[in-house]
Structure 1
Amino acid sequence: MNNQSSIYKLFVKYLEDNCTPEEVRQLLLYFDDGENEKVLKALIRAELGFVEHDEGSIGKTETAVSKVKSIIIKEISDRSAHESKSKKNYSIKKWLKIAALWLVLIASTLLFFNQYFKNRYKFRNAKQLQYVVTRPAEKRILQLYDGTKIWLSPSSSLEYKDQLIGKFREVKLEGEAFFEVAKDKKHPFIIHTGQIQTEVVGTSFNIRAFEKQHKVTVTVVTGIVKVSVWSATNAKIKQVTLKPNQSADFTKETRTLKTDSVPNIQPEIKRRDGILTYNGTPVPDVIADFRRYYNLSIELENKSVQCLCYGEFDTTKPIKIVLDQLAAAINAKVVYKNERYILQGGCDER
């Protein structure tokens, strides 16, 4: 009985409790041969539905097979030593031992089976995670598996999965991005940004969530967006629902979440292309944006720090043009010294 296909059929037949005593004897004798150990391993995996395995799972298989094989050998040895006893007594002992053998087999392989799929699930999830990081002065446009488009701003990062797992489409954002989310009512799209969770079905909006800035801002262009604040213990503290031309600001220090109207939504759409509009924004925040978009050293003198900025700046243009425009807006001047730009004076000198 050297044919592996026949052994497999006999193995399955035994699991179904349809083997004759002679077939059981043939099966035990076959596995007593050390050269057939690979067949035993393959049969165990086949019956449990294993397709792939890593280094850890191979070790567990080796342990299970060794344990089963030692019991098989002992069974054959005991049978030979007791052949002179009555057939009835031997038959009872033989079946008890075979029952014990399969109990050990089931216990060992089920443990392996459970651990295997835990490892497999972790490996699969880790494999599906994708990371995109933009350097200063670098922008990226991404399209996810569901058709969602994302404009990732400079100095930002996005973590996402390359396929749907579970009920939600989830990403993790650090920095700024503009989203055009593909509509799917059955699988809401969720963006995690620190303590803030933004949930949509299909809509377009912008999120600014830089770690070093004191607030997170979500601005809606189309559709409906739910913005929630979560505690460190994963409890929802507060939630607001935004409609088009509305925004939500979460202030990190006070942990407050407030909404506001946005009369002109076009600046948010232009931001994805690097055209930045400010309407009474503190100049230090404007300079922080310029540093990210140009990857250059830009400093402010004390007077400029107190200024507010109004105007639109196209960051596709050279930095000198953009800084001259900002200086003119706040009545300051630009000085280039030691490979850095310095904004001197401003606003209160008018």
Structure 2
Amino acid sequence: MSIKNTDYYSMPSLAHPDDWKAYERNAGLFNNRHVSKSFPGSKLLRHWKWFVGVGVVASVSSAGYYFRGEIYNKMNPVVMQEASTNTGQRKYIQLSDGSEVWLSPQSTLHYPEIFNREVREVTIEGEAFFRIKENPEHAFIVHSSQVNVKAPGSSFNIQAYSNQPYTAVTSVSGSATVAVKDTQLDAEPAIIKPNQCAIYVNDYQKIVTNNYSNADAHMQARRNGHYEFWGMPVSEVIKEVQRQRPVSVTLEGNYSDAKFYGEFRAQEPIEKILKRISDGVSGKLIAEGDAWVIKVKDGK
């Protein structure tokens, strides 16, 4: 899936002020034979024709620029690629500009085979870690269902699963701008720097930022299947477990306020993972064939 050596197209200008006089001479706009010397308004008329000439040049130039762009786009279509992961699967992708993507389980990345447009754009469904190749002339934008992340060259992790109530972007190096995708919402974009994260909560439709100490180490741990939680609702922790392992887990009892503080590694025995989570929320783990039930007594 590695594609290298991207060639960017630069659209030249089709109109330049230095060409105006030549154009006007060729068009005969200053040919005094067409203007009566005895007419008092001849000077005004000449000026009027000059403005018309400038307007024609601008119109022709704009049209030429537009159609040249259309021709280029048709001759160089964007060929999209897709990379997906299943439960417990991880995948590394190198994009054509040298940027790198580490795709987490149950995730999909849509990206061009070659970046041949002014802006480098990809779309993520799920979670991925991006290391963007710096190019100030061609911004890099990661689209998700709720937010867009713009970064000229930086490293960050984005969690954007459709079944979670939030989208989280954590910066490891460089800066990134996180903006709500729905422009109708009154939500200010956030600029995050290393060891900061931006979280968009679906119900509140706002972006909040927080410090995230030692983000590089924590994000590398996630890429390796080591997950840490600091007060995460147990229902969200179970979703994370099910992205790593094909297992049926049901929560019962008073679990809506139960929060888990702890960690697990994706390759640990599933019973060990679920027992640790169950104990962490004062619950009881019950095996029912190939499925599991965690009964929570009191929210924690």
1:258 pairs with 2:177: no
| 1:161-204 alpha-carbon deviations (Å, 9 max, x no partner) | 01112221110001111111122222121100123110112211
- 1:37 match: none
Give 1:338 deviation, angstroms: 3.1
Mapping 1:291-306, distance limit 5 Å: 291-306=242-257
Aligned to 1:187: 138
1:324 aligns with: 275
1:214 corresponds to: 165
Q: 2:262 aligns with which of 311, 320, 323?
A: 311
Report SS of the residue matched to 1:322.
helix
Q: Confirm or deny that 1:335 pairs with 2:286.
A: yes
Aligned-partner Cα distance in 2 for 1:310–1:158: 30
Give 5+ residue unaligned stretches, structure 1: 1-116
- Is 2:198 aligned against 1:248? yes
Structure with bigger RCO (C-alpha 8 Å, 6+ apart): 2
TM-score normalised over the length of structure 2: 0.71
What does the per-residue CA deviation read over 1:312-343, in whole Å, with 9 as the maximum and x for residues that have no partner? Answer: 21112221221122223223232211321111
3-state SS of paired residue (1:216) = strand
> 1:89-124 deviations in whole A, cap 9, x for unaligned?
xxxxxxxxxxxxxxxxxxxxxxxxxxxx97995695
Determine the structure 2 residue equivalent to 1:125: 77
The structure 2 residue matched to 1:223, chosen from 147, 155, 174, is 174
1:144–1:305: structure 2 CA closer, same or farther, 3 Å change rule? Answer: same
- Assess if the C-alpha contact under 8 Å between 1:220 and 1:246 holds in 2: yes
Matched residue, 1:165: 116
- Could you say what secondary structure the match of 1:306 adopts? coil
Cα offset, 1:348, TM superposition: 5.0
SS in 2 for 1:291: helix
Question: Matched residues in 2 for 1:125 and 1:276: separation?
Answer: 40
| Cα distance, 1:143–1:166 mapped onto 2, change above 3 Å | same
Q: Which protein shows a greater Rg? A: 1
CA distance in 2, matches of 1:325, 1:340: 16
Mean CA deviation greater in 303-312 or 289-298: 303-312
Give the number of aligned pairs. 232
Residue number among 128, 132, 142 corresponding to 2:93 in the alignment: 142
Percent sequence identity is 29
Specify the SS of the correspondent of 1:194. coil
- Once residues 194 and 138 of structure 2 are traced to their aligned partners in structure 1, the CA distance between those partners, rounded to angstroms, is 21
Could you list the runs of 4 or more consecutive aligned residues of structure 1 that deviate by over 4 angstroms after TM superposition?
Answer: 117-124, 346-349
CA RMSD of aligned residues (A): 2.5
Q: SS of the residue aligned with 2:163?
A: coil
SS where residue 241 of structure 2 aligns?
helix
Q: Return the letter of the residue paired with 1:238.
A: E
Cα distance in structure 1, aligned partners of 2:225 and 2:132: 20
For the 8 Å contact 2:125–2:161, the answer to whether it is kept is yes
CA separation of 1:118 and 1:208: change in aligned 2, threshold 3 A? same
CA contact (8 A) 1:230 1:237 kept: no
Shift of 1:140: 1.1
Among candidates 288, 293, 298, match of residue 239 of structure 2: 288
Equivalent pair of 2:103/2:128 in contact (CA under 8 Å): yes
TM-score (norm 1): 0.61
1:305 positional shift: 4.0
**Structure 1 residues 288 and 223: alpha-carbon distance in aligned structure 2, compared to 1, 3 A threshold:** same
Contact 1:227 1:248 (8 Å CA) reproduced? yes
Tell me the secondary structure at the aligned position of residue 324 of structure 1: helix
Gaps of 5+ in 2: 1-68
Query: C-alpha separation between the residues in 2 aligned to 1:142 and 1:269?
Result: 16
SS of the residue 1:125 aligns to: coil
- Match of residue 34 from structure 1: none
Structure 1 residue identity aligned to 2:171: V
- CA offset at residue 278 of structure 1? 0.3
| Residue 144 to residue 328, structure 1, CA distance change in 2 (3 Å) | same
CA distance in 2, matches of 1:217, 1:325: 25
Deviation string 1:31-66 (CA, Å, 9 cap, x unpaired) is xxxxxxxxxxxxxxxxxxxxxxxxxxxxxxxxxxxx
Counterpart code for 1:185: P
Q: Deviations over 1:211-262 (max 9, x none)?
A: 12211110111111111113267x9952111001111111222211111111
1:239 pairs, out of 168, 189, 196, with 189
CA-CA distance at 1:346 after TM superposition = 4.9
The 2-side partners of 1:230 and 1:290 are apart by 28
